[in-house]
A and B are shown apart, each in its own frame.
Chain A
Amino acid sequence: MSRMWTLLGLEIRLAGRDRVLVWLVLGFAMMAVYGAWTGARWRVERAAAIATVAAEVEEVMAAKREQFANAAPGEIPFAAMPQVTPFRPVLEPGPLAALSIGQAEAYPYAARMLPLSDETLFDAFRLHVDNPAVRASGRFDLALVIVLLMPILLLAATYDIWVRERERGIAALTLSQPIPPAAVLATKALSRILLVLLPMVLISAGALAAFAQPHLPGLIATAVTVFLYGLFWIGLAVAVNVVARRATTAAVACGALWLVVVALGPALALAAVDVARPPPSAIARTNALRAIYLQHRAEVRARPPMAERIPAPRIPDRLRVFMTDIVRLEERKAPVLAKYDAAVAERRKWLDAARLVLPSVAVQDALDRIAGADADRAIAFQHQTLAFRGQTRRWLADRFAADAPMTEADYRALPVFRFREPDLQTALALDWLVVAAGAAGLALFALRRVRRRPLLET
């Protein structure tokens, strides 16, 4: 064991003299800081957009207060009708949003809602006016630096971890020491972990801590994710080194594998999902819903005029009928929406399955979840908003039943939307498991290869 420590010390001294490693870590630090800054800037912009949306309620309420103030004694202003009470459920970015923008731009982050709003309540927040060319290129956030660029730097630091000694002719001398070959490789890998990977882990967490809101569990989870991912890539470099005989071959193999893991593999997986589970047609769904609406409207228009009750209730009966009509219309739309939603969910399940085989996708998923920019959180927001709409409808029905128009005081005691964060641990643990299994698999491969075929064999 002490010989291993000696070898480790030697490796660290030798690697420490390699200026390239310092430049690699510095390069990573610069990109990580830039990525975290980009993410933080995006978070500020998103928070400002959310504040604009939230302020809309105050604008509506100011108009309602004016109506209340201008109403004659005994008059019930339109502002007192509860069905036009505005709500703006919003999905605030997570405290560590600077880490990854992830899927946050692919899902609505707010809803313009009245109790009787239909399925279009999220539509305004599906629209974007920023340059699609910028979006298509992908945001340069910290997650991109970790998922895409960190592996290149790690491979640059480790691609010749063993073949270099072979080429320089000192491999035989190293192996003549009373240390098993596998332990030699492990020691070399450990030196790179200590000198390159650990600084990268600390830099990632540090850059995030500097630009995000304080959130210790999230920072620890980020560090664990980066560490496991780094282990995977160092494991891959070691595996290549026990197979390749020349540094050039090892460099080419590492480059090709990087391309496969972070670009070709995900692209192929995406193409496979597109073929197996293409997205359902959103435009066909919209047309089907509009046709249902027209049919419903024609039926409503064909109805004889409603007779008013005497004495007239304070909330007109036509509003009660309107609510019943809306509920009936939604029942008609439900099969179309359910079919579409099921197809979308099925496709997402397939997309999600890719992370079980691709460590790069698993890490992206983990970082998205830690940042609160994952698809599951966005979908949870939509589900909770629809549940909240149900709650406001019950509230509205109660007011209709009690024939109780709104007062200014009532507007201060409205139902409030509170987003409940979905379970993070299970999905995160699965992501970590995938990456750790990848790293362990590569280590096992290298170990078996070393046992079957001595490191010096040509």
Chain B
Amino acid sequence: MSAPRVWTVAATQLRLMSRDRRLAWLTGLLALVMLASAAVGQSRNAQLQADRRAAAAEAQEVWRSQGPTNPHGAAHFGQDVYAPVSPLAALDPGLSDHLGVAVRLEGHSQNPARERPVEGGAALSRFGGFSAAWALKVLAPLMIILAGFSTFAGERSRELLSQERAAGASSFTLMGGQLLALSTWAFGLVAAFTAAGLALVLANGAAAADMLAALAMGAAFFLYLAVFVGLTLAASASFRTARAALVALLCFWALSTLAAPRLVPALAEQLHPTPAAPVFEKAVTEEAKNGANGHDPADKRLAAFKAETLRHYGVTREEDLPVNFAGLALAFGERNSTQTYNRHYARLFDAYEGQARVQRWVALAAPELAVGPLSMAFARSDLDAHLRFLKQAEAFRYRLIQTLNADVAQHKPPADGPYLADVGALTRHLRFAPRPAALGEVWTRQRANALVLAGWAALAFALAGFAGLRLERPQ
């Protein structure tokens, strides 16, 4: 196989593809769908960002304007914080519609995120929207199949193949040229996608990490499309008729891009079940009340804590304490309830991780299950990004509530009513500023999916090469 001949074959094939009006139209349409959805996504993202920025300022204002109030009452009133919007979510919104955008931070409980955009839908909502990433995941492979299934299959193609071989080109060279041509076409699509991603990042203030993330998404999608390029040409060279090649490829496409992404999460959920919200809540409440072992009632724990505190201060009566015991008790209760919640959430997140593991294993049979999580992760619209936000919100909540409890502990209530404080001033130094995961961290978590994709692409190209060699045999 000589490199110049491969280039010649590829250039010829690309010229033929550009002359095929149907393919040109479909490519144009696909690019249009992709870029239009990126533009719609960007407009929606800008709206969401503005909405959350305004809401965050409003929530701060509401918190500050409580006036003189009891700090523990303020802890119950709570403060809302909002999930950040990633610029690349305009390209791949991932799970965004199914994730709550606001968390109410309050005493005694770790609330899940609320206000999921998917709420309040109708039958149409069940179908899901499209995005640039969806176009690359679902439509682009279909286009590759339609563009390449008849390359070597079918009588006309076989006759053409004989003529080309008679002209001195080996089958392997022809296969190499076709691989290069279809890969170039796929690269063009991915380049448009990546350019859109870079433009979005620039429009949103250009963070280097986001630019690298956009490039990583582009690389992942190129590997994914390369899988379909290799498989399409391998099938085209292996099946005797174009129809058989098309049916086999369409079956793989439907299973990989439509069936597997729906079936596998359901299977993963059966293998690693998660509780319903009321059941989860009841379990937490039960444990907070009776202790982790079920035989350590909260009252008993509090009594022991009180005895310990009195001993610590060398007094025998609560009123003789130099501090307000109610504040200490609240801090103690908060510590206990937080530990309880942390245990339950850790178990829940372990179940999520188990489900993700199942998905990674099945990705060995369906490449969409590898590229989907990888793209979402770099777009920061996946579950990991959401859990990171929740963990940061929880760390902030704990600091906020314990700051309020510490203030209660420092002030004994006056005789004529409850202790009141300016909670806005008290918590002025506390600001919630969620930080996205570093790119290296995202890469570490997604390395397995990237390897699966690379493996798939290598296998598909090897199959295409093998099928090219078989074309040398007399038909």
Contacts and interface: CB of A to CB of B under 8 A. Distances in A.
Interface of A: 38, 45-46, 48-49, 52-53, 102-103, 106-107, 110, 123-140, 144, 148-149, 152, 247-248, 251-252, 255, 259, 262-264, 266-271, 273-275, 278-279, 281-284, 286-288, 290-291, 294, 298, 344, 347-348, 351-352, 354-355, 358, 360-362, 364-365, 368, 374-375
B277 A283 contact: no
A129 B268 contact: no
A347 B44 contact: no
Nearest to A351: B122
Interface in B65-101: 65-67, 77, 80, 82, 94-95, 97-101
B214 interface: no
Contacts of B243: 247-248, 251
In the complex, the 6 A-B pairs of residues with the closest C-beta atoms, listed nearest first: A266-B127, A365-B123, A267-B130, A49-B276, A351-B122, A287-B58
Nearest to A289: B62
Contact of B383 (A131, A288, A347, A368): A131
Interface in B241-267: 242-243, 246-247, 250, 254, 258-259, 261-266
Contact of A274 (B40, B67, B138, B268): B40
B263 A283 contact: no
B441 interface: no
Interface in B99-147: 99-102, 111-112, 114-130, 134, 138-139, 142, 146
12 contacts: A103-B122, A106-B120, A132-B95, A134-B355, A140-B262, A252-B146, A271-B40, A283-B52, A283-B102, A287-B62, A294-B62, A361-B127
B303 to A, nearest CB: 21
B55 A281 contact: yes
Contacts of B128: 136, 138, 266-267, 270
Interface of B: 33, 37, 40, 43-44, 47, 51-52, 54-55, 58-59, 61-62, 65-67, 77, 80, 82, 94-95, 97-102, 111-112, 114-130, 134, 138-139, 142, 146, 150, 242-243, 246-247, 250, 254, 258-259, 261-266, 268-269, 274-282, 348, 351-352, 355-356, 359, 382-383, 386
A271 B115 CA distance: 20
Given A259-B142, A283-B55, A294-B65, A271 B246 contact: no
B224 to A, nearest CB: 18
Contacts of A137: 261-262, 264-266
B130 A103 contact: no
Most buried by B among A132, A273, A287: A132
A275 B43 CA distance: 9
A267 B122 contact: no
A48 B280 CA distance: 12
Contacts of A124: 277-278, 281
Contact of B352 (A131, A251, A274): A131
Given A135-B98, A278-B47, A294-B66, A364 B127 contact: yes
Contacts of B126: 102-103, 138, 364, 368
A458 B351 CA distance: 60
A134 B266 contact: yes
B348 to A, nearest CB: 6
Contacts of A360: 127
B125 A287 contact: no
Given A133-B356, A251-B247, A348 B51 contact: no
A133 B95 CA distance: 6
Nearest to B275: A129
B278 A49 contact: yes
Contacts of B40: 271, 274-275
A45 B51 CA distance: 35
A286 B266 CA distance: 34
Contact of B112 (A127, A135, A152, A267): A127
Contacts of A294: 62, 65-67
Given A138-B262, A281-B55, A132 B383 contact: yes
A361 B123 CA distance: 6
A125 B277 CA distance: 8
A419 B351 CA distance: 35
Most buried by A among B77, B118, B261: B118
Contacts of B66: 294
A20 to B, nearest CB: 10
Contacts of B258: 148
